């Protein structure tokens, strides 16, 4: 998992690995728009391990706007991969939320769900004429998760994104595809 939360005046990033192979380090990246990220620090990895490791990083960055984080895991042979994106919303940090970015989107849209409910999450995209054009399901067993939807194949226009968690009432958001 990868999670970001505001604790007092600081932003705390938490993540864990179940195992690691040739893991050199984790580069922590921050963004104000969810698109353009800058490296703000690093945490050394465990190298080779077959047990769970918990990691954390504290960022003192202050903003009244949403702050986006991701982690770039770098192996010893310099291959890398990115985590999902975590978001902190300082203006509504204690509120449940479902958010997505970028909007408008061109290639992919990231959906961030920060709600206490757990269960199967269903994210459905509908065209304005009511046809379902894409659906994704993921299991949510922590308060905050994020996932990405590939929207490259969609035609330009406005779509409705319906997000439901378990048996809770669905929430609908507008998404624009460029």
55-107 pLDDT per residue, tens = 999 999 988 888 989 999 999 999 999 888 888 877 654 446 788 888 889 99
Question: What mean pLDDT do residues 44-50 have?
Answer: 93
The predicted model gives 39-55 an average pLDDT of 93
Local confidence band at 144 (pLDDT 50, 70, 90 cut-offs)? confident
Distance of CA 75 to the CA centre of its chain: 22
Q: List % helix, strand, coil for the chain (3-state, nearest 5).
A: 0, 65, 35
pLDDT averaged over the chain? 89
The pLDDT of 123-131, averaged and rounded, is 90
- What would the mean pLDDT of 146-166 be, rounded to a whole number? 93
- Give the model's pLDDT for residue 69: 93
Of 52, 47, 49, nearest to 14 by C-alpha is 52
* Percent of the chain topping pLDDT 70: 97
Taking residues 4-29, report their average pLDDT. Answer: 90
Residue recorded with tokens 């460029």: 178
- Judge whether residue 43 has pLDDT over 90: yes
Would you call 123 exposed, middle or buried from its count of C-beta atoms within 10 A (0-12, 13-18, 19+)? buried
Q: What is the pLDDT of residue 94?
A: 46
Tokens 């698109």 belong to which residue?
35
Asked whether 159 and 128 are in contact (CB, 8 A), the reply is yes
Which pair of structure tokens corresponds to residue 72?
A: 């770039």
113 vs 123, more confident: 123
For residue 61, the Cα-to-chain-centroid distance in whole angstroms is 19
Q: Which range has the top average pLDDT, 17-21, 98-102, 131-135, 141-145? A: 131-135
Percent of the chain whose pLDDT exceeds 90: 52
Asked if residue 126 has pLDDT above 90, the reply is yes
Cα distance between residue 59 and residue 30, in whole Å: 9
């Amino acid at each position: 998992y990868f999670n970001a939360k505001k604790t007092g005046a600081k932003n705390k990033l938490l993540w864990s690995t179940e195992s690691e192979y040739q893991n050199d380090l984790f580069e922590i990246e921050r963004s104000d728009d969810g698109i353009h990220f800058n490296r703000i620090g690093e945490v050394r990895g465990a190298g080779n391990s077959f047990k769970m490791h918990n990691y954390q990083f504290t960022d003192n960055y202050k903003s009244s706007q949403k702050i986006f984080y991701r982690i770039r895991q770098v192996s010893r042979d310099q291959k890398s991969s990115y985590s999902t994106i975590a978001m902190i919303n300082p203006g509504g940090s204690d509120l449940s939320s479902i958010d997505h970015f970028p909007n408008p989107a061109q290639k992919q849209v990231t959906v961030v769900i920060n709600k206490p409910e757990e269960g199967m999450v269903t994210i459905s995209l509908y065209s304005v004429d009511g046809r379902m054009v894409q659906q994704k399901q993921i299991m949510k067993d922590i308060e905050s998760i994020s996932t990405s939807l590939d929207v490259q194949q969609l035609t330009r226009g406005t779509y409705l994104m319906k997000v439901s968690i378990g048996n809770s009432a669905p929430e609908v958001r507008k998404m624009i595809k460029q």
